Amino acid sequence: MLYNSQKPLGGGILNIVGIIAEYNPFHNGHLYQLCTVRQVLKPDGIIVIMSGNFVQRGEPAVFSKWARAEMALREGADLVIELPVCFSTATAEIFAESAVKLLLQSQVVNTLSFGIERYCEKELFYLGKLLSEEPDLFKHFMNDYLKKGFSFPAAREKAVIKYIMVKNVNLDTQLISDLLKKPNYILAVEYIKAINKLEAEFSIFPVLRQGHNYHDKELTQQYASASAIRQELFYRRQDFSNELINNLPDSTLQIIKKEIGAGRTPVFLQDFETILLYALRRMSAYELKTYFDVAEGLENRIKKAAQACGTLEQLISQIKSKRYPVTRIQRILIHILLHVPKEIVEIRTPQYLRVLGFTQKGALILKKMKSKATVPVITRASEYKNLNQSAKIMFEKDLLSSDVYSLAYKNAALRNGGSDFRRSIIYFNSFK
């Protein structure tokens, strides 16, 4: 169920806002969202569900989950919880549904805030309802477009438009078509869809995106996209242009400089090029087929490309198609890199709440969450040994993701395994 975002909360219930994010890295647009949430909703606290060391585009995060959690805590988040890597590297649908489930499992969140390029309430709620219910006629249209070779996002967009036209629904189909091409709007639809599906009693609070579009690579404004910032980091690695400085909060810049100084250099997919090529050449086509989203003979296409290509760029270029765009291929490669089995992705249900850090206010929320949550709350990596078997398997993928991620560090002394066991939960005293 959905409630108006201005619904008053009485009876001593805490007003806790949840945000689902990657913060890859944390920039001025993210800061704007947190400030807007604080100013308008005046919440008792903000919980962030954040991707760990690998993200939804099928790439490593440019800085570690610990660095990015600290960025968030320094700029207004009160509690940062890691989204398990099996979901943070999945489709937008699974990413959104599993993150909403985590907020629901916490039993302390009552509002979900998200960034969006344009807030068209009628269209947003209609699409969320349509996609959560998936009537037979819509599924028929969807399957028809998939059989014609369209990618999933393109097939869904066309199926939505056709369904609206056939049903003569009073909505602007051109507007909906435009909106379904915008990454943040697509995620917003997925959040509403998940809320409907799970019957979560969340208010929603959309915040309009500021500055450049999601994929823009220009660093000319105060609110540059994360894509533009990552590109700058990729080419410069350690040198910071004035444009980059203008697009990042001071605390983020300080953390980035600290990470680079320690040898925890910015990490990119290309850093795993040799490992991935080795893994693909070693595996059989049958083994490749056991990973999520590998179907319709794609395993043979991957195997052939692995033998013929000497770089990751060549590999992806040879595998991609209209049906399998770059990000879909990259997600498959990350699942292979981390050996994430298909079954663990398909359950869509996190088995624990892994806390990365909190503020003084967050400590109070954490205490309440521990008494109410429907899944175990983990504050130290060693506690995972108390989980049930399926939860252990999921958690071990998070542990592995940290150990694989560290192999890209410039400082060889930081590449030892078991890194999550040596890290303490982050505590940031926001009242200093």
- Predicted local distance difference test score (pLDDT) of residue 10: 35
Q: Distance between CA 356 and CA 320 in Å, rounded? A: 35
pLDDT tens digits for 115-141? 998 888 899 999 999 999 999 999 999
- Predicted local distance difference test score (pLDDT) of residue 231: 87
- Predicted local distance difference test score (pLDDT) of residue 1: 33
- Predicted local distance difference test score (pLDDT) of residue 422: 94
Q: What is the DSSP letter of 78?
A: S
- Checking phi first, is residue 201 left (phi over 0); if not, alpha (psi -120 to 50) or beta? beta
Instruction: Point out which residues pair with 18 in neighbouring strands.
Output: 47, 112
Q: Can you give the three-state secondary structure of 240-287, one letter per residue?
A: CCHHHHHCCCHHHHHHHHHHHHCCCCCCCHHHHHHHHHHHHHHCCHHH
- Amino acid identity at 373: A
Contact between 401 and 336 (Cβ < 8 Å) = no
Contact between 350 and 387 (Cβ < 8 Å) = no
Q: Distance between CA 232 and CA 219 in Å, rounded? A: 8
- Predicted local distance difference test score (pLDDT) of residue 210: 74
Residues in the chain, pLDDT under 70: 1-13, 211-222, 237-243, 430-432
**pTM of the entire structure?**
0.92
- Predicted local distance difference test score (pLDDT) of residue 4: 41
CA atoms in the 13 A half-sphere facing the CB of 1: 4
